[in-house]
């Protein structure tokens, strides 16, 4: 059989992992692909000391790889936007199939990239873009394709999950744990993408399109990060029977699609509440299958390489007839529909956890509950916690019944205007899943 030649662009964490696993598992990969799969060229500005590149041809110009007539599949692992997009479009124009781990690019420019691939009759595969080593794209797009997906919810940023787990288990401060996650190679080049939920939102955007057959709409999603969560929130939540996880939630309702990433209280007994460290997991509720959960490492060199190489093998199997490959988002192009709008977050309904740092005086609790009562917000649980700060204040912790987000925003604004309330209120949405 004619060998399939792969060109790897970028030899960082993911590119280096891909190089090493392709070398180490060459015979099993070739057996599965049905032909030898060879690294034909590497494009990288720097060597990766973890990779023995031996006599593999190396160029410093990644565009050499995209134009190299010997290369069949270009693997983009440089990350970022402009150069990565140009590289992928150049590869496509040159008739190459593309494998990318770049969730930002797919979430924000995927509609254009997939159109270019269709125009040039090539495949763009992106399994590694969502949840690292978990075969999440295949799971949703192929394994669950019989289902009407009602909702999905996932822990889809390993760095964020690692930070929340360490903060809760060891009472460690946020910046310390973030530094460690960066050193372990989990975090994005710009770690605000991890801690402010942008990375998770990229992944959620992609999953929602596959789940509901809607075009990629990153800009319409609601995103909130974990940087305001404190170890006290984690402890208060635990005392109420919950864990705090940074979730991406996509739900289809009769009015539209909810698309949101935010810290979330989950009952401690739910499987998702027990996914810790850098692990990712996604729960999918389908009308036929019921609830399924898939979990695994969401970041790291070889877990992500595992997904990149699965795509390479898939392409090697189908590259003679790319028309037969699964559509990029699972739905045929004609049936992708905008008829389900992405709902503004003010229209969603959620229970909420509120932490209110307030003067420890008689009547404060009364003032707080009056505001909630006036807004028609029903309290599910309420408690006052002594804080370690010696500022004459206490934390009032409240769980509410389901409330429309817009109403909750009004209540929070009214509460924050009370003179007894000393700092911004922490609101964490609750999902029972």
**What is the contact surface with ligand HSE in residues (CB under 6 A)?**
132, 157-159, 186-188, 194, 199, 298-299
Q: At its nearest, how many Å lie between ligand HSE and the CB of residue 286? A: 24
Tell me how far apart the alpha carbons of residues 414 and 268 are, in angstroms, rounded to a whole number.
31
159 or 295: CB nearest ligand HSE: 159
157 or 205: CB nearest ligand HSE: 157
Q: At its nearest, how many Å lie between ligand HSE and the CB of residue 383? A: 33
3 or 185: CB nearest ligand HSE: 185
> Residues, the chain, total?
433
User: Burial level of 413, CB count in 10 A (0-12/13-18/19+)?
Assistant: exposed
Q: At its nearest, how many Å lie between ligand HSE and the CB of residue 131? A: 7
Q: At its nearest, how many Å lie between ligand HSE and the CB of residue 188? A: 4
7 or 197: CB nearest ligand HSE: 197
| Active-site residue, selected from the candidate residues 203, 245, 374, 422 | 203
77 or 400: CB nearest ligand HSE: 77
Q: At its nearest, how many Å lie between ligand HSE and the CB of residue 186? A: 5
422 catalytically annotated: no
Q: At its nearest, how many Å lie between ligand HSE and the CB of residue 150? A: 25
Which of 154, 141, 135 lies closest to 200 in space, CA to CA? 154
Q: At its nearest, how many Å lie between ligand HSE and the CB of residue 290? A: 27
187 or 430: CB nearest ligand HSE: 187
66 or 216: CB nearest ligand HSE: 216
Which residues have a catalytic role annotated? 203
């Amino acid at each position: 059989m004619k060998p399939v030649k792969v060109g790897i662009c970028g030899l960082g964490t993911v590119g280096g992992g891909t190089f090493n696993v392709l070398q180490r598992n060459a015979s099993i990969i070739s057996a599965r692909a049905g032909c030898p799969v060879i690294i034909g060229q590497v494009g990288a500005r720097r060597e990766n000391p973890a990779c023995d590149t031996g006599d593999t041809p190396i160029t410093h110009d990644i565009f050499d790889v995209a134009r190299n007539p010997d290369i069949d599949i270009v693997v983009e692992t440089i990350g970022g936007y402009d150069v990565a997009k140009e590289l992928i479009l150049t590869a496509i124009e040159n008739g190459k199939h593309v494998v990318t781990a770049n969730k930002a690019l797919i979430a924000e420019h995927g509609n254009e990239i997939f159109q270019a691939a269709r125009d040039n009759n090539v495949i763009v595969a992106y399994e590694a873009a969502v949840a690292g080593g978990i075969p999440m794209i295949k799971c949703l797009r192929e394994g669950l394709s019989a289902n009407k997906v009602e909702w999905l919810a996932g822990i889809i940023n390993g760095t964020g999950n690692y930070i929340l787990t360490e903060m809760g288990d060891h009472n460690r401060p946020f910046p310390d744990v973030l530094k460690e996650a960066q050193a372990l190679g989990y975090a994005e080049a710009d770690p605000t993408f991890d801690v402010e939920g942008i990375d998770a939102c990229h992944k959620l955007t992609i999953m929602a399109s596959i789940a509901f057959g809607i075009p990629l709409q990153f800009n319409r999603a609601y995103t909130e990060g974990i940087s305001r969560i404190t170890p006290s929130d984690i402890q208060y939540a635990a005392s109420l029977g919950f864990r705090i996880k940074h979730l991406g939630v996509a739900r289809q309702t009769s009015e539209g699609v909810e698309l949101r990433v935010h810290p979330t209280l989950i009952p401690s007994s739910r499987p998702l509440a027990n996914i810790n460290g850098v692990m990712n997991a996604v729960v999918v509720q389908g009308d036929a299958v019921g609830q399924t959960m898939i979990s695994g490492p969401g970041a790291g060199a070889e877990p992500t390489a595992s997904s990149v190489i699965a795509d390479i093998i898939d392409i090697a199997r189908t590259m003679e007839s790319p028309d037969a490959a699964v559509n990029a988002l699972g739905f045929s192009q004609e049936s992708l529909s905008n008829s389900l709008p992405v709902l503004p977050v003010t229209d969603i309904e959620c229970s909420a956890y509120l932490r209110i740092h307030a003067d420890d005086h008689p009547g404060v609790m009364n003032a707080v509950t009056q505001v909630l009562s006036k807004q028609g917000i029903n309290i599910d649980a309420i408690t006052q916690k002594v804080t370690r700060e010696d500022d004459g204040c206490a934390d009032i912790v409240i769980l509410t019944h389901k409330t429309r987000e817009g109403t909750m925003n009004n209540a929070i604004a009214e509460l924050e205007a009370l003179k007894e309330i000393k700092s911004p209120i922490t609101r964490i949405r609750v999902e029972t899943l």
